[in-house]
Amino acid sequence: MKIYIDGKYYSQDDAKISVYDHGLLYGDGVFEGIRIYHGRIFMLNEHVERLYMSAKAILIHIPLTMDDMEKALLETVARNNKKDGYIRLIVTRGVGSLGVSPMTCKKPSVIIIVDDIQLYPVEYYERGISIITASTRRISPDSLDPRIKSLNYLNNVLAKIEAIQSGCLEAVMLNQNGYVAECTGDNIAIIKEGALMTPATHHGALSGITRGVIIALAEKIGLPVIEANLTQYDLYTADECFLTGTGAEIIPVVTIDGRPVGNEKPGETTRMLIDAFRKEIATVE
Protein backbone atom coordinates (compact mmCIF):
# COMPACT_ATOMS: atom_id res chain seq x y z
CA MET A 1 0.00 0.00 0.00
CA LYS A 2 1.25 3.46 -0.95
CA ILE A 3 -0.10 6.37 1.07
CA TYR A 4 0.14 9.95 -0.15
CA ILE A 5 1.19 12.55 2.42
CA ASP A 6 1.93 16.08 1.22
CA GLY A 7 3.24 15.11 -2.19
CA LYS A 8 5.23 12.02 -1.18
CA TYR A 9 4.35 8.33 -0.99
CA TYR A 10 4.96 6.09 2.00
CA SER A 11 4.33 2.47 2.90
CA GLN A 12 1.63 1.83 5.48
CA ASP A 13 4.24 1.29 8.21
CA ASP A 14 6.12 4.47 7.34
CA ALA A 15 3.11 6.76 6.84
CA LYS A 16 3.10 9.07 9.86
CA ILE A 17 1.86 12.49 10.93
CA SER A 18 3.06 14.76 13.72
CA VAL A 19 1.47 14.46 17.17
CA TYR A 20 1.19 18.26 16.92
CA ASP A 21 -1.09 18.09 13.88
CA HIS A 22 -4.35 19.82 14.78
CA GLY A 23 -6.26 17.16 12.88
CA LEU A 24 -5.16 14.76 15.62
CA LEU A 25 -5.25 17.19 18.52
CA TYR A 26 -8.64 18.79 17.81
CA GLY A 27 -10.27 16.99 14.88
CA ASP A 28 -9.52 20.18 12.93
CA GLY A 29 -9.79 19.21 9.31
CA VAL A 30 -12.06 17.85 6.61
CA PHE A 31 -12.31 14.63 4.65
CA GLU A 32 -14.04 12.72 1.88
CA GLY A 33 -14.75 9.03 1.41
CA ILE A 34 -14.75 8.07 -2.26
CA ARG A 35 -15.37 4.77 -4.04
CA ILE A 36 -13.35 3.19 -6.83
CA TYR A 37 -15.20 1.04 -9.36
CA HIS A 38 -13.45 -0.77 -12.22
CA GLY A 39 -10.33 1.30 -11.59
CA ARG A 40 -12.28 4.56 -11.92
CA ILE A 41 -13.04 7.08 -9.18
CA PHE A 42 -16.80 7.47 -8.71
CA MET A 43 -18.14 11.05 -8.66
CA LEU A 44 -14.60 12.42 -8.45
CA ASN A 45 -15.43 16.04 -9.29
CA GLU A 46 -18.34 16.14 -6.84
CA HIS A 47 -16.26 14.77 -3.96
CA VAL A 48 -13.36 17.12 -4.58
CA GLU A 49 -15.67 20.10 -4.88
CA ARG A 50 -17.36 19.22 -1.57
CA LEU A 51 -13.96 18.85 0.11
CA TYR A 52 -12.93 22.33 -1.00
CA MET A 53 -16.26 23.78 0.12
CA SER A 54 -15.84 22.17 3.55
CA ALA A 55 -12.28 23.49 3.80
CA LYS A 56 -13.34 26.99 2.76
CA ALA A 57 -16.09 27.02 5.37
CA ILE A 58 -13.56 26.44 8.17
CA LEU A 59 -10.83 28.68 6.69
CA ILE A 60 -8.43 25.96 5.56
CA HIS A 61 -6.59 26.87 2.35
CA ILE A 62 -5.77 23.56 0.68
CA PRO A 63 -2.24 23.79 -0.79
CA LEU A 64 -3.30 22.17 -4.08
CA THR A 65 -5.58 23.34 -6.84
CA MET A 66 -8.66 21.21 -7.44
CA ASP A 67 -7.09 19.92 -10.67
CA ASP A 68 -3.89 18.98 -8.86
CA MET A 69 -5.91 17.25 -6.14
CA GLU A 70 -7.73 15.16 -8.73
CA LYS A 71 -4.40 14.24 -10.33
CA ALA A 72 -3.01 13.22 -6.92
CA LEU A 73 -6.05 11.01 -6.32
CA LEU A 74 -5.75 9.35 -9.73
CA GLU A 75 -2.02 8.80 -9.24
CA THR A 76 -2.50 7.27 -5.79
CA VAL A 77 -5.15 4.87 -7.11
CA ALA A 78 -2.81 3.91 -9.98
CA ARG A 79 0.14 3.34 -7.65
CA ASN A 80 -1.98 1.02 -5.55
CA ASN A 81 -3.34 -0.77 -8.62
CA LYS A 82 -6.77 -0.69 -7.02
CA LYS A 83 -9.65 -1.74 -9.29
CA ASP A 84 -12.43 -1.69 -6.71
CA GLY A 85 -11.98 -0.02 -3.35
CA TYR A 86 -12.18 3.08 -1.25
CA ILE A 87 -10.31 6.36 -0.93
CA ARG A 88 -10.04 8.32 2.30
CA LEU A 89 -9.01 11.86 1.38
CA ILE A 90 -8.03 13.97 4.40
CA VAL A 91 -6.98 17.58 4.82
CA THR A 92 -5.82 18.57 8.31
CA ARG A 93 -5.15 22.04 9.64
CA GLY A 94 -1.51 20.99 9.91
CA VAL A 95 1.14 21.15 12.60
CA GLY A 96 0.75 23.84 15.26
CA SER A 97 1.09 24.50 18.96
CA LEU A 98 -0.83 22.74 21.73
CA GLY A 99 -3.21 25.69 21.90
CA VAL A 100 -6.53 25.50 20.07
CA SER A 101 -5.75 28.50 17.87
CA PRO A 102 -5.54 27.48 14.19
CA MET A 103 -3.30 30.46 13.49
CA THR A 104 -0.26 28.53 14.79
CA CYS A 105 -0.67 26.01 11.95
CA LYS A 106 1.44 27.17 9.03
CA LYS A 107 0.44 24.69 6.34
CA PRO A 108 -2.42 22.17 5.97
CA SER A 109 -1.54 18.54 5.29
CA VAL A 110 -3.10 16.40 2.56
CA ILE A 111 -3.37 12.65 3.05
CA ILE A 112 -4.72 10.10 0.56
CA ILE A 113 -5.31 6.49 1.61
CA VAL A 114 -6.45 3.88 -0.92
CA ASP A 115 -7.75 0.65 0.60
CA ASP A 116 -10.71 -1.73 0.77
CA ILE A 117 -13.96 -1.11 2.64
CA GLN A 118 -16.77 -3.41 3.72
CA LEU A 119 -19.21 -1.73 6.07
CA TYR A 120 -21.89 -4.41 5.98
CA PRO A 121 -21.78 -8.17 5.34
CA VAL A 122 -22.89 -9.07 1.80
CA GLU A 123 -25.97 -10.99 2.97
CA TYR A 124 -27.45 -7.86 4.56
CA TYR A 125 -27.91 -6.28 1.14
CA GLU A 126 -30.32 -9.11 0.33
CA ARG A 127 -32.17 -9.45 3.62
CA GLY A 128 -31.82 -5.93 5.05
CA ILE A 129 -30.62 -4.60 8.39
CA SER A 130 -32.15 -3.55 11.69
CA ILE A 131 -31.48 -0.11 13.12
CA ILE A 132 -32.35 1.81 16.29
CA THR A 133 -32.91 5.44 17.16
CA ALA A 134 -29.97 6.77 19.17
CA SER A 135 -30.48 8.92 22.25
CA THR A 136 -27.45 10.93 21.11
CA ARG A 137 -28.81 13.91 19.17
CA ARG A 138 -27.21 15.29 16.00
CA ILE A 139 -25.22 18.47 16.57
CA SER A 140 -27.42 21.43 15.77
CA PRO A 141 -26.78 23.13 12.40
CA ASP A 142 -26.43 26.45 14.21
CA SER A 143 -23.46 24.95 16.07
CA LEU A 144 -21.81 23.10 13.18
CA ASP A 145 -23.20 23.15 9.66
CA PRO A 146 -23.75 19.52 8.52
CA ARG A 147 -22.48 20.42 5.05
CA ILE A 148 -18.98 20.59 6.57
CA LYS A 149 -17.60 17.04 6.46
CA SER A 150 -15.18 17.53 9.33
CA LEU A 151 -12.76 15.19 11.09
CA ASN A 152 -14.64 15.69 14.36
CA TYR A 153 -16.96 12.66 14.29
CA LEU A 154 -17.36 12.09 18.03
CA ASN A 155 -21.08 12.90 17.83
CA ASN A 156 -21.53 10.09 15.30
CA VAL A 157 -19.22 7.73 17.20
CA LEU A 158 -21.31 8.02 20.36
CA ALA A 159 -24.47 7.15 18.42
CA LYS A 160 -22.62 4.25 16.76
CA ILE A 161 -21.72 2.89 20.20
CA GLU A 162 -25.43 2.89 21.07
CA ALA A 163 -26.18 0.91 17.90
CA ILE A 164 -23.50 -1.67 18.63
CA GLN A 165 -24.58 -2.06 22.25
CA SER A 166 -28.13 -2.68 21.00
CA GLY A 167 -26.94 -5.37 18.61
CA CYS A 168 -27.44 -3.25 15.48
CA LEU A 169 -25.11 -1.98 12.78
CA GLU A 170 -26.55 1.53 12.50
CA ALA A 171 -28.52 4.12 14.44
CA VAL A 172 -30.80 6.97 13.38
CA MET A 173 -29.89 10.35 14.84
CA LEU A 174 -32.56 12.96 15.55
CA ASN A 175 -31.89 16.66 15.71
CA GLN A 176 -32.65 18.84 18.72
CA ASN A 177 -36.22 19.36 17.50
CA GLY A 178 -36.89 15.65 17.20
CA TYR A 179 -36.73 15.45 13.42
CA VAL A 180 -34.78 12.71 11.68
CA ALA A 181 -31.34 13.94 10.57
CA GLU A 182 -29.27 10.99 9.37
CA CYS A 183 -27.60 7.82 10.59
CA THR A 184 -24.10 7.67 12.08
CA GLY A 185 -22.43 7.18 8.71
CA ASP A 186 -25.23 7.13 6.16
CA ASN A 187 -28.15 9.14 4.90
CA ILE A 188 -31.62 7.65 5.38
CA ALA A 189 -34.68 7.61 3.15
CA ILE A 190 -38.13 6.06 3.20
CA ILE A 191 -40.71 5.11 0.62
CA LYS A 192 -44.23 6.18 1.55
CA GLU A 193 -47.28 6.10 -0.71
CA GLY A 194 -45.19 5.94 -3.87
CA ALA A 195 -42.79 8.75 -3.03
CA LEU A 196 -39.19 8.82 -1.85
CA MET A 197 -38.86 10.95 1.28
CA THR A 198 -35.55 11.95 2.85
CA PRO A 199 -34.61 14.46 5.58
CA ALA A 200 -33.80 17.95 4.39
CA THR A 201 -30.16 18.91 4.95
CA HIS A 202 -31.11 21.82 7.22
CA HIS A 203 -32.28 19.24 9.75
CA GLY A 204 -28.70 18.07 10.25
CA ALA A 205 -28.17 15.66 7.36
CA LEU A 206 -25.00 15.67 5.30
CA SER A 207 -25.70 16.41 1.66
CA GLY A 208 -24.41 12.98 0.67
CA ILE A 209 -22.95 12.34 -2.78
CA THR A 210 -24.55 8.89 -2.99
CA ARG A 211 -27.79 10.40 -1.64
CA GLY A 212 -27.73 12.78 -4.60
CA VAL A 213 -27.14 9.93 -7.05
CA ILE A 214 -30.08 7.97 -5.63
CA ILE A 215 -32.35 11.02 -5.80
CA ALA A 216 -31.42 11.51 -9.45
CA LEU A 217 -32.05 7.83 -10.21
CA ALA A 218 -35.42 7.98 -8.43
CA GLU A 219 -36.47 10.99 -10.48
CA LYS A 220 -35.28 9.26 -13.64
CA ILE A 221 -37.63 6.32 -13.06
CA GLY A 222 -40.53 8.66 -12.24
CA LEU A 223 -40.46 8.35 -8.45
CA PRO A 224 -41.45 11.61 -6.71
CA VAL A 225 -38.75 12.87 -4.31
CA ILE A 226 -39.59 14.96 -1.25
CA GLU A 227 -37.12 16.50 1.21
CA ALA A 228 -39.30 16.33 4.28
CA ASN A 229 -39.55 16.95 8.01
CA LEU A 230 -39.45 13.30 9.06
CA THR A 231 -40.15 12.05 12.58
CA GLN A 232 -39.82 8.63 14.22
CA TYR A 233 -43.50 8.10 13.41
CA ASP A 234 -42.75 8.50 9.71
CA LEU A 235 -39.98 5.89 9.96
CA TYR A 236 -42.21 3.47 11.88
CA THR A 237 -45.05 3.74 9.37
CA ALA A 238 -42.94 3.77 6.18
CA ASP A 239 -43.63 1.29 3.41
CA GLU A 240 -39.90 0.86 2.83
CA CYS A 241 -36.65 2.27 4.22
CA PHE A 242 -33.04 2.27 3.11
CA LEU A 243 -29.69 3.89 3.86
CA THR A 244 -27.30 5.46 1.37
CA GLY A 245 -23.62 6.31 1.63
CA THR A 246 -20.29 6.00 -0.13
CA GLY A 247 -19.34 2.93 1.85
CA ALA A 248 -22.80 1.46 2.27
CA GLU A 249 -23.99 2.29 -1.26
CA ILE A 250 -27.71 1.50 -0.75
CA ILE A 251 -28.84 -0.99 1.88
CA PRO A 252 -32.41 -1.89 2.89
CA VAL A 253 -33.70 -1.41 6.44
CA VAL A 254 -36.27 -3.98 7.63
CA THR A 255 -36.80 -3.05 11.29
CA ILE A 256 -36.50 0.23 13.21
CA ASP A 257 -36.54 0.14 17.02
CA GLY A 258 -37.99 -3.36 16.83
CA ARG A 259 -40.83 -2.31 14.52
CA PRO A 260 -41.08 -4.04 11.13
CA VAL A 261 -40.78 -1.88 8.03
CA GLY A 262 -43.39 -3.00 5.50
CA ASN A 263 -43.38 -6.80 5.42
CA GLU A 264 -39.93 -6.86 7.09
CA LYS A 265 -38.24 -7.57 3.77
CA PRO A 266 -36.45 -5.26 1.31
CA GLY A 267 -39.18 -3.50 -0.66
CA GLU A 268 -39.79 -3.53 -4.38
CA THR A 269 -38.89 0.13 -4.88
CA THR A 270 -35.73 -0.24 -2.81
CA ARG A 271 -34.67 -3.20 -4.94
CA MET A 272 -35.43 -1.19 -8.08
CA LEU A 273 -33.16 1.61 -6.84
CA ILE A 274 -30.43 -0.88 -5.92
CA ASP A 275 -30.56 -2.30 -9.44
CA ALA A 276 -30.47 1.20 -10.93
CA PHE A 277 -27.49 2.12 -8.77
CA ARG A 278 -25.59 -1.04 -9.74
CA LYS A 279 -26.18 -0.23 -13.39
CA GLU A 280 -24.92 3.29 -12.73
CA ILE A 281 -21.63 2.14 -11.18
CA ALA A 282 -21.21 -0.48 -13.90
CA THR A 283 -20.88 2.37 -16.41
CA VAL A 284 -18.36 4.43 -14.38
CA GLU A 285 -15.81 5.97 -16.70
State how far the Cα of 101 lies from the Cα of 103, in Å rounded to an integer.
5
For 238-270, b/e burial (b = at least 16 CB within 10 A) is bbbbbbbbbebbbbbbbbbeeeebbeebbbebb
From the list 2, 149, 160, 192, the catalytic residue is 149
Q: Is 149 a catalytic residue?
A: yes
Enumerate the active-site residues.
149
